[in-house]
Amino acid sequence: MTRSAEYGSRMQKWEYSTVPLLVHATKQILDNWGQDGWELVAVIPGPNPEQLVAYLKRPI
Protein backbone atom coordinates (compact mmCIF):
# COMPACT_ATOMS: atom_id res chain seq x y z
CA MET A 1 0.00 0.00 0.00
CA THR A 2 1.36 3.41 -0.90
CA ARG A 3 1.64 6.15 1.67
CA SER A 4 -0.96 8.30 -0.14
CA ALA A 5 -3.42 5.38 -0.26
CA GLU A 6 -2.84 4.70 3.43
CA TYR A 7 -3.64 8.27 4.49
CA GLY A 8 -6.00 9.25 1.67
CA SER A 9 -9.18 8.06 3.35
CA ARG A 10 -8.28 9.81 6.61
CA MET A 11 -7.27 13.11 5.04
CA GLN A 12 -8.63 16.10 6.95
CA LYS A 13 -11.29 18.04 5.05
CA TRP A 14 -11.92 21.74 5.63
CA GLU A 15 -14.56 24.34 5.03
CA TYR A 16 -13.56 27.96 4.51
CA SER A 17 -15.10 31.36 5.12
CA THR A 18 -14.17 34.96 4.42
CA VAL A 19 -15.17 37.52 7.01
CA PRO A 20 -15.02 41.32 6.86
CA LEU A 21 -13.20 42.73 9.89
CA LEU A 22 -13.72 46.22 11.21
CA VAL A 23 -10.49 47.62 12.64
CA HIS A 24 -12.16 48.73 15.89
CA ALA A 25 -13.79 45.29 16.51
CA THR A 26 -11.26 42.80 15.12
CA LYS A 27 -10.68 40.89 18.36
CA GLN A 28 -14.37 40.55 19.15
CA ILE A 29 -15.18 39.32 15.63
CA LEU A 30 -12.33 36.78 15.61
CA ASP A 31 -13.16 35.58 19.13
CA ASN A 32 -16.77 34.92 18.07
CA TRP A 33 -15.69 32.89 15.03
CA GLY A 34 -13.05 31.08 17.10
CA GLN A 35 -15.70 29.96 19.59
CA ASP A 36 -17.48 28.28 16.67
CA GLY A 37 -14.35 26.30 15.79
CA TRP A 38 -12.94 28.53 13.03
CA GLU A 39 -9.17 29.01 12.75
CA LEU A 40 -7.68 32.19 11.29
CA VAL A 41 -5.60 31.50 8.17
CA ALA A 42 -4.86 34.99 6.85
CA VAL A 43 -5.89 38.64 7.00
CA ILE A 44 -5.67 40.87 3.93
CA PRO A 45 -6.59 44.52 3.28
CA GLY A 46 -10.23 45.10 2.46
CA PRO A 47 -11.89 47.50 0.04
CA ASN A 48 -11.19 50.52 2.27
CA PRO A 49 -8.63 51.45 4.98
CA GLU A 50 -11.08 50.78 7.81
CA GLN A 51 -11.75 47.20 6.76
CA LEU A 52 -9.76 43.98 6.62
CA VAL A 53 -10.82 40.57 5.31
CA ALA A 54 -10.12 37.44 7.36
CA TYR A 55 -9.85 33.98 5.81
CA LEU A 56 -10.87 31.22 8.22
CA LYS A 57 -11.07 27.42 8.12
CA ARG A 58 -12.47 24.63 10.27
CA PRO A 59 -12.62 20.86 9.99
CA ILE A 60 -15.68 19.32 8.37
Q: What is the C-alpha separation between 50 and 60, in angstroms, rounded?
A: 32
CATH number of 12-59: 3.30.70
In the chain, the DSSP E strands lie at 14-22, 39-45, 51-59
- Digit-by-digit pLDDT tens for the chain (60 residues) are 556 556 666 899 999 999 999 888 999 999 999 999 999 999 999 888 778 999 999 999
**Rounded to two decimals, what is the model's pTM?**
0.76
Q: Where are the domains of the chain?
A: 12-59
- 51-59/39-45 β-pairing: antiparallel
The reported pLDDT for the residue numbered 22 is: 87
